[in-house]
Structures are given as structure tokens and as C-alpha cells.
């Protein structure tokens, strides 16, 4: 009992400390993504708070962090600008269209969870997962390079001279602390990211370094500061946005795209966290939680969001495993907004950049370089394709393209595996033993195996080593039977699966005469009724 309690207390400590670290890392990310979307920083911060809190409590993956993300922000830019153009100057109508779209996005995500579409994430191949991870690591790295710029008269310019060297030095110091602290035996359990941020912040403040801080970053982007109040219901959204068919036509495509991107990024992050923690999350539950969080976020004036791979990895690496870590991160973020703005604004951007660079190093699948010559070239192509598309476009396009290419490669490879072994019986009957899957991709090769004109009067086609997979295969069998009967020859089909026979019987009654039901091969019974066989085995 004592050991159990100590373990729980240790987990609570890790969750709390990791949650504080995540909250600090969330601030510049949420603000930056709000600027990308063209909205006030508080819109991004409120989204990070509400999304993080609801998904941490009700989500399907403890330890995963959700908030405003860049993948969604880049889609919202066009939505907000087009919405603003539909209203009077200064009316800021695009912001209210954004809130309405986020609400509809949440409804779509809930429907995806209720319909249990989350399970389809299992269809994502490993090369796509590796490409996703590598691409996202590159995207995070590139996004941090913008922190090495400053705003002069409204224009971004790269840091130079002592400012650049000081920025690089503080980033390097942060990374060194995070790398070296776990190597000290007595400090292994300490939250290295949080300690690195505190140490670098203390040095920068005491020595009065002229470096960019969270506060200056917000002001450079056009914001007034981090401080704000509790998020309030934005009921004016429903009066500002007319509930008409034109409004639905305008926001629905954006809502659908945002919902798809959010679910794909969340479910793939869930899979990644599953691998890191060797546990199993619930994808459908996460869909419902993400959708619910987005609905609430839209109602309270947030920009919506989804799972954040960078912050999720910070949390996991920091020891955050339970729901408490995400709750602490969300609550601390709100406390920063309400009471701690002046302190948080003093944190050097360099410290947070250093933390994110360590996330990049931890996120990138470095093993992909070692396996370049060990995996099929098609898998390598998919890996590189997904990584590239993630950087150039967005996650949804990259993953969908990767899955499509992988599916086409799989179909092509299986299409070439159809075989027909031919032999003759003593009575002159010719037997075709079919090997390999019979589906739309292998139909052409399947038809080439038969010589209807020169075959004897009686032909048997044995499907015991083949699987009839789709309607195209059924149609091919039907056409083959017709060809033999038109030629005046008898044909018998043996060892078809139960569902295949049922479909053929429904398509044409004459198959009752062609298909042989009486089979005595035990291999066929095992292949045709695997569930029945397994059930009987366990009953014994």
C-alpha cells in the first residue's frame, strides 16, 4: 500500500511540474498561431485553455495536450479575411464567422466519434507515420526560426550582431541544460524543461539582456499584452452571422477541412503517444472530446484547435502521464492570463525556442536514415513524400496522399500475385487451382490464366488458395462461367467462401448448378469458417 501511494504521489508531482512546463511553452505557440490566423492573441490563448482542459478531462489519451495549432491556423487565414470582406470595414465579421465555423467543426468531429471513424487511423501505414513525424518536426523547427527575427517599422528582419549571438547562446544554454540534467543521477527525475526555462529567464532578467521576451513578441505582432479576463460567451456570434443557406455554404467547406485536419493530427499524435508510453488510447473517445471542446471554444470566443504534437511530447518527456498534467497546463495558462501576465511576459523567447528545438530532436525519427537501404523503395518514397507534403502543404494532404499511394502500391503488388496451377484428372477434367487474392486489381491477370477455346469439355476451378474480395471478382467469375457455357463446356467452382457463394447465388440462380457444395477438404472448412473453428476450439 505504501509503495502504491508513493507511486501515485510521484505521478502527481510529475504531472504538475510537466503541466507547468507545457503551459509556459503553450503561450508563444498560441499567440503565434493567433497572429497567423489574423485574430487577437487572446483568441488563441482562450482556445488553448478550453481545448486543453476539456480534452484532458474527457479525451481518449491521457497525457496528450490540445490547443490552437498552426495546421488549423493556416486554413483560418482565408476564412477570416473572406469573412471580413463580407461585412463593413471595422465590423470584424470574419472573427464571428470563425467562431461559427469552429462550432460546426466540433459537431462534425463529434459525429466522427459517434460513427466510430477513429478506428480508421489503423489503416495508416508505418511509413506514413514516420513521414508525418519527420515532416512535423521540420515544420516545428522552421516555425521557431521566425523567433530569430525582430520587427522594425512593421517589417520583419533577421537578428544580427550581438543580438543574434545572445539569442543563439541562450537557446544553446537551454538545450544544454535539458540535455545534461537527466545525465546527473540525482537530477534524473527533475523537469529539465521547466528548470532550463527558469535558469535562462533568471540569467536574462538579472543581467538585463536585450533579448526578445514573450511580452515583446506579443507587442511586435500587434497585440496589447498577455493579460485578459475569463473567457465569456460570445452570443453576438448568432446575431452577427445570419442563419441562412448562403452562410452554411460559406462556412461548411472550411468546417469540414478543419475537422479533418484536426482529427488526423489528433489521432496520429495519439498513436505516437501510444508508442512512446506503450499504452493504448481511445480514438473514438478523442474524436468526441475534440469536437465537444471545439464547440465550447467557438461559443467562448476561441479559434479552435486539436492535439499539439510538440507540447504533447514535452509533457510525456517531462513525466506527464495522467489527465492531471493536461488539466494543470490548461489551468496554469488561464492563471497566466489572469494574474501572471507581467511575469510570463519577461520570459525570454530564446528559452522557449530551446525547449522546442529539443522537441524537434526528440520528435524526428532519426532511425529513418538507418533503414533507408533496408526497406522497400516504395515505402521510402511514401516516407519522403509525406514528410515533404507536410512541410509544403499541411498534415491532412500529406497523410491522405501517403495513404493513397500506399494503398495503390499494395493493390498493385497483390494484383501480380494471382496464380493458376493447372493439372488434368484421369477422366480428362482440367483443374485450375487459383492462388492469391482475386479483386479488381488482379482481374486482368486472372482472365489470362484460362484457355476457354482449347480446354476440355469439363473444367474445375478450385479457389481453396484464393480469396474472392470484391464485386469485380464476382463479376469476373460470372463472365468466365458464361464463356465456358457459351462454348458448350461444363464448369464447376469449388472451395468458394460462404459469403462469395451467397453473393453468387443472389446474382444468378444458375450458380446453384455450377458451385459444388459438398467438399471434404478440412483446409476449406478452416478457411471458410474461421470464427466457427476458433469458437469450437476454445469451447473444447
Enumerate long-range contacts of 85-94, CB under 8 Å, 24 or more apart: 86/250, 93/240, 93/241, 94/38
Based on the domain organization, do 240 and 380 belong to the same domain? Answer: yes
Query: pLDDT, tens digit, for every residue of 77-126?
Result: 889 989 988 888 777 889 999 999 999 999 999 999 999 988 777 778 88
Q: What is the pLDDT of residues 296-341, one digit of tens each?
A: 999 999 999 999 888 898 899 888 889 999 999 999 999 999 998 8
Does 528 have pLDDT greater than 70? no
Same domain? For 501 and 535 the reply is yes
Dump pLDDT digits (tens) for 264-273: 889 888 988 9
**Chain centroid to CA 121:** 8
pLDDT band for 519, please (50, 70, 90 cuts). low
For the ranges 424-433, 497-506, 512-521, the lowest mean pLDDT is seen at 512-521
Per the structure, how many domains does the chain have?
2
Q: CB-based contacts of 407: which residues, under 8 Å, 6+ apart?
A: none
| pLDDT for residue 6 | 52
Q: Which CATH number goes with the domain that contains 447?
A: 3.30.750.24
Q: Is the dihedral of CA 362, 212, 339, 53 positive or negative?
A: negative
Q: Which residue has the cell 522497400?
A: 376
Phi, psi of 27 (to 5 degrees): -55, -60
What value does the CA radius of gyration of the chain take, rounded to a whole number of Å? 30
Same domain? 461 vs 364: no
The verdict on 462 and 486 lying in the same domain is: yes
Same-domain pairing of 228 and 353: yes
388, 407, 426 - which closes a domain: 407
| Same-domain check for residues 368 and 492 | no
Q: Is residue 144 scored above 60 in pLDDT?
A: yes
Give residue 424's pLDDT: 92
Burial category of 348 from C-beta neighbours within 10 Å (exposed 0-12, middle 13-18, buried 19 and up): buried
- Which of 359, 383, 407 is at the close of a domain? 407
pLDDT-derived band at 60, boundaries 50, 70, 90: very high
3-class secondary-structure state, position 156: strand
pLDDT digits (tens, 9 = 90+) for 414-423: 888 888 999 9
Quick one: pLDDT band at residue 518, thresholds 50, 70, 90?
low
Paired with 419 in beta bridges are 435
Residue 534's pLDDT band, with cuts at 50, 70 and 90, is very low
Model confidence pLDDT, tens digit, residues 207-251: 999 899 988 888 877 777 788 889 999 888 888 888 888 889 999
Q: Is the pTM of this model over 0.85?
A: no
371 and 459: one domain?
Answer: no
d(Cα 88, Cα 240) in Å, to the nearest integer?
A: 12
Among candidate residues 259, 289, 252, the one with its CA nearest the CA of residue 100: 252
CA pair distance 139, 134, nearest whole angstrom: 9
Taking phi over 0 as left and psi of -120 to 50 as alpha, with beta for the rest, 104 belongs to alpha
Same domain, 340 and 470: no
Q: Which domain holds residue 532?
A: 416-539
- CA 520 vs. chain centroid, Å, equals 48
Is residue 279 domain-shared with residue 401, that is, in the same domain? yes
CA distance 536 to 540: 6
293 and 180, same domain (yes or no) = yes
Amino acid at each position: 500500500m505504501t509503495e502504491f501511494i508513493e507511486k501515485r504521489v510521484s505521478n502527481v508531482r510529475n504531472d504538475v511540474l510537466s503541466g507547468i512546463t507545457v503551459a509556459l511553452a503553450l503561450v508563444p505557440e498560441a499567440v503565434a498561431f493567433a497572429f497567423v490566423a489574423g485574430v487577437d492573441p487572446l483568441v488563441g490563448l482562450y482556445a488553448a485553455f478550453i481545448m486543453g482542459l476539456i480534452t484532458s478531462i474527457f479525451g481518449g489519451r491521457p497525457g496528450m495536450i490540445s490547443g490552437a495549432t498552426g495546421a488549423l491556423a493556416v486554413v483560418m487565414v482565408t476564412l477570416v479575411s473572406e469573412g471580413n470582406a463580407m461585412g463593413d470595414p471595422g465590423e470584424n465579421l470574419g472573427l464571428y464567422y470563425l467562431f461559427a465555423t469552429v462550432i460546426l467543426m466540433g459537431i462534425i468531429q463529434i459525429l466522427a466519434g459517434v460513427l466510430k471513424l477513429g478506428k480508421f487511423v489503423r489503416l495508416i501505414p508505418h511509413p506514413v507515420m514516420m513521414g508525418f513525424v519527420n515532416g512535423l518536426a521540420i515544420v516545428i523547427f522552421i516555425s521557431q526560426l521566425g523567433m530569430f527575427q525582430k520587427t522594425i517599422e512593421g517589417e520583419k528582419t533577421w537578428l544580427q550582431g550581438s543580438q543574434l549571438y545572445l539569442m543563439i547562446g541562450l537557446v544553446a544554454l537551454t538545450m544544454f541544460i535539458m540535455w545534461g540534467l537527466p545525465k546527473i543521477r540525482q537530477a534524473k527525475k527533475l523537469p529539465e524543461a521547466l528548470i532550463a526555462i527558469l535558469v535562462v529567464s533568471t540569467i536574462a532578467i538579472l543581467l538585463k539582456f536585450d533579448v526578445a521576451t514573450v511580452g515583446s513578441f506579443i507587442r511586435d505582432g500587434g497585440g496589447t499584452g498577455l493579460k485578459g479576463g475569463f473567457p465569456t460567451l460570445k452570443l453576438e456570434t448568432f446575431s452577427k452571422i445570419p442563419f441562412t443557406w448562403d452562410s452554411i455554404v460559406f462556412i461548411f467547406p472550411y468546417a469540414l477541412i478543419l475537422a479533418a485536419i484536426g482529427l488526423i493530427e489528433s489521432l496520429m499524435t495519439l498513436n505516437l503517444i501510444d508508442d512512446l508510453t506503450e499504452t493504448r488510447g481511445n480514438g473514438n473517445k478523442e474524436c468526441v472530446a475534440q469536437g465537444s471542446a471545439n464547440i465550447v471554444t467557438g461559443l467562448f470566443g476561441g479559434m479552435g484547435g486539436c492535439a499539439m504534437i510538440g507540447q504533447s511530447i514535452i509533457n510525456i518527456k517531462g513525466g506527464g502521464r495522467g489527465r492531471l498534467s493536461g488539466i494543470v497546463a490548461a489551468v496554469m495558462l488561464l492563471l497566466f492570463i489572469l494574474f501572471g501576465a507581467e511575469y510570463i511576459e519577461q520570459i525570454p523567447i530564446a528559452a522557449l525556442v530551446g525547449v522546442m528545438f529539443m522537441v524537434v530532436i526528440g520528435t524526428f525519427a532519426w532511425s529513418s536514415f538507418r533503414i533507408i537501404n533496408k526497406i522497400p523503395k516504395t515505402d521510402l518514397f511514401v516516407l519522403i513524400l509525406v514528410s515533404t507534403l507536410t512541410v509544403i502543404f499541411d498534415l491532412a494532404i500529406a497523410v491522405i496522399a501517403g495513404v493513397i499511394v500506399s494503398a495503390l502500391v499494395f493493390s498493385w503488388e497483390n494484383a501480380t500475385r494471382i496464380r493458376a496451377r493447372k493439372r488434368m484428372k484421369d477422366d480428362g477434367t482440367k483443374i485450375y487451382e487459383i492462388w492469391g487474392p482475386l479483386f479488381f486489381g488482379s482481374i486482368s491477370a486472372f482472365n489470362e490464366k484460362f484457355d476457354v477455346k482449347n480446354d476440355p469439355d469439363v473444367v474445375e476451378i478450385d479457389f481453396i488458395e484464393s480469396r474472392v474480395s470484391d464485386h469485380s471478382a464476382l463479376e469476373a467469375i460470372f463472365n468466365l462461367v458464361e464463356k465456358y457455357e457459351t462454348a458448350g463446356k461444363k464448369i464447376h467452382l469449388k472451395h468458394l467462401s460462404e459469403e462469395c457463394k451467397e453473393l453468387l447465388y443472389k446474382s444468378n440462380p444458375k450458380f446453384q448448378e455450377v458451385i459444388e457444395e459438398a467438399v471434404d477438404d478440412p483446409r476449406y472448412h478452416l478457411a471458410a469458417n474461421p470464427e466457427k473453428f476458433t469458437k469450437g476450439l476454445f469451447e473444447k
